[in-house]
């Protein structure tokens, strides 16, 4: 096991766990208790590539490659880049980012998701050439209060699950150092996205429990750009993420109509 990949001590888990915190704002205003409970309930199946998180498994190589390509050369040359994966779930992107050589903090408000992430890391240690990877239960509010700063902040498929996307983007901006990058992926509020995420994934394929997605909370690319502007971030690029017919492999595209990813930088 890599020296930095120490499994969390019981004490860490107790400090970070939110056992006695039960209200909607237990972690902070961005957290919807209902959403967190929904993801917590499927945490044990998270790493099953044919399970409820199948689309995230299939799109992971594309989004990690895209993020890595959009990190400025200066940052990539830096010996160790500090990356926050916010809303990391059980760590699909966190592990891949650490394998790409970054020092990663994976954070999620769902304690069950973090427990599954820690379990997976213990059972599948990263190669020695990888960066470090630690996990924490919590939300952006916690890190902002602590004055934490990262070279890059990654928030994949989470903005459509928070209570206030503008406030959420502001926190992402606060958590990245000047010159650093923020990456956000989400679903567009289109009829096609409704058909794909609600009807397809929840009702037809029964991958996800009904109610996992609230179409009204999907974010159009124009809204995404606006949220970034309001947070003081510059939009560098956006790309569509498009699955093949069977959803097994995803490619970058110009189609922002369903899934897309955006790169911002902080001046």
Ligand X SMILES: C[S@@+](CC[C@H](N)C(=O)[O-])C[C@H]1O[C@@H](n2cnc3c(N)ncnc32)[C@H](O)[C@@H]1O
Give whichever of 83 and 156 is closer to ligand X, judged by the CB atom: 156
Is residue 139 involved in binding ligand X (CB under 6 A)? yes
**Minimum CB separation from ligand X for residue 31, in Å?**
4
Nearest by Cα to 139 from 35, 8, 212? 35
Give whichever of 179 and 211 is closer to ligand X, judged by the CB atom: 211
Counting residues that bind ligand X (by CB under 6 A) gives 22
Give whichever of 178 and 201 is closer to ligand X, judged by the CB atom: 201
Is residue 162 involved in binding ligand X (CB under 6 A)? yes
Contacts with ligand X, 25-54, as mask; x by CB under 6 A: -----xx---xx--x---------------
Is residue 169 involved in binding ligand X (CB under 6 A)? no
Phi first, then psi, for residue 224 (nearest 5°) are -60, -45
Q: Which position among 87, 131, 240, 243 is part of the footprint of ligand X (CB under 6 A)?
A: 87
92 is in an annotated binding site: no
Q: Which position among 58, 84, 88, 104 is part of the footprint of ligand X (CB under 6 A)?
A: 88
Q: Is the dihedral of CA 207, 209, 211, 214 positive or negative?
A: negative
CA separation for the pair 14, 245 (Å, rounded): 44
DSSP state of 8: P
**Minimum CB separation from ligand X for residue 119, in Å?**
15
E strand residue ranges, the chain? 82-86, 103-108, 133-137, 150-156, 176-187, 233-243, 250-253, 259-266
Strands across the sheet containing 233-243: 133-137, 103-108, 82-86, 150-156, 176-187, 259-266, 233-243, 250-253
Report the SS3 class of residue 241. Answer: strand
The residue whose Cβ lies closest to ligand X is 87
156 is in an annotated binding site: yes
- Return all residues near 11 (Cβ < 8 A) that are at least 6 apart: none
List residues near ligand X by CB under 6 A: 30-31, 35-36, 39, 56, 86-89, 92-93, 108-110, 113, 139, 156-158, 161-162
């Amino acid at each position: 096991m890599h020296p930095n990949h120490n499994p969390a001590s019981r004490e860490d888990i107790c400090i970070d766990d939110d056992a006695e915190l039960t209200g909607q704002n237990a972690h902070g205003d961005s957290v919807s208790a209902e959403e967190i409970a929904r993801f917590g309930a499927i945490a044990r199946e998270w790493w099953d590539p044919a399970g409820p998180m199948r689309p995230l498994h299939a799109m992971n190589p594309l989004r990690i490659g895209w993020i890595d390509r959009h990190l400025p050369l200066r940052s990539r040359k830096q010996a160790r880049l500090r990356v926050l994966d916010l809303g990391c779930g059980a760590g699909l992107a966190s592990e891949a980012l650490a394998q790409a050589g970054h020092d990663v903090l994976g954070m999620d408000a769902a304690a069950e998701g973090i427990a599954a992430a820690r379990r997976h890391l213990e059972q599948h240690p990263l190669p020695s050439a990888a960066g470090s990877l630690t996990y924490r239960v919590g939300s952006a509010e916690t890190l902002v209060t602590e004055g934490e700063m990262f070279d890059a902040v990654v928030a994949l498929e989470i903005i459509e699950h928070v209570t206030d996307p503008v406030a959420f983007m502001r926190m992402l901006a606060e958590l990245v150092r000047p010159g650093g990058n923020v990456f956000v992926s989400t679903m567009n509020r289109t009829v096609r996205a409704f058909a794909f995420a609600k009807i397809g994934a929840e009702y037809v394929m029964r991958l996800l429990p009904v109610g996992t997605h609230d179409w009204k909370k999907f974010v159009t690319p124009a809204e995404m750009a606006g949220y970034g502007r309001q947070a003081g971030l510059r939009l560098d690029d956006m790309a569509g993420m498009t699955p093949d017919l069977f959803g097994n492999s995803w490619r970058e595209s110009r189609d922002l109509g369903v899934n897309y990813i955006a790169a911002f930088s902080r001046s």
